[in-house]
Amino acid sequence: MDSFLQAWSPRVLSLLRIMTGLLFMEHGTAKLLGFPNVPDFAKLELASLIGVSGILELVGGALIVIGLFTRVTAFVLCGMMAAAYFLAHAQQGFFPLLNLGELAILYCFVFLYFVFAGGGAWSIDAMRGTR
């Protein structure tokens, strides 16, 4: 059983990367493209902190989905999510469940994992042979 699971590990890593990237991109499309419609982002300025985060979410999420420059992109996004937690959530209270920072923390640590694990078997990085 262990050998079967071990053999599938790179593929499941790719599935985690793809789903994480797609979900992360949704934050960027909501901020920049208005889809899905989130009323808080209706009058977003691109030069604002939220606008820059939207660009990083959209572009970084797309790079994560296709697995291109996975480690570098994940490093940048990990830092962005750590900053997002401390700038937007931590000041609202200590507990992530109460300050609504759970998702930021989870993204931060999943991206940190990608920094070390790479993009998995189904990535452009793997096709290019980059580590």
Q: 125: closest CA among 66, 77, 76?
A: 66
Contact 59, 65 (CB under 8 A): no
Rounded to whole angstroms, how far apart are CA atoms 78 and 65? 15
What are the tens digits of pLDDT across the range 75-114?
999 999 999 999 999 999 999 999 999 999 999 999 999 9
Q: What is the domain range of residue 15?
A: 2-128
The 10s digit of each residue's pLDDT in 14-49 is 999 999 999 999 999 999 998 998 888 878 888 889
The total number of structural domains in the chain stands at 1
Mean pLDDT value across residues 62-84: 98
Return d(Cα 26, Cα 120) in angstroms, integer. Answer: 22
**Model's pTM, two decimal places?**
0.92
| Cβ pair 112, 82 in contact under 8 A | no
Q: Give pLDDT, residue 20.
A: 98
Q: Is the pLDDT of residue 6 over 80?
A: yes
For residues 96-126, one letter each, b for 16 or more C-beta atoms within 10 angstroms of the residue's C-beta and e for the rest, the string is beebebebbbebbebbbbbbebbbbbbbebb
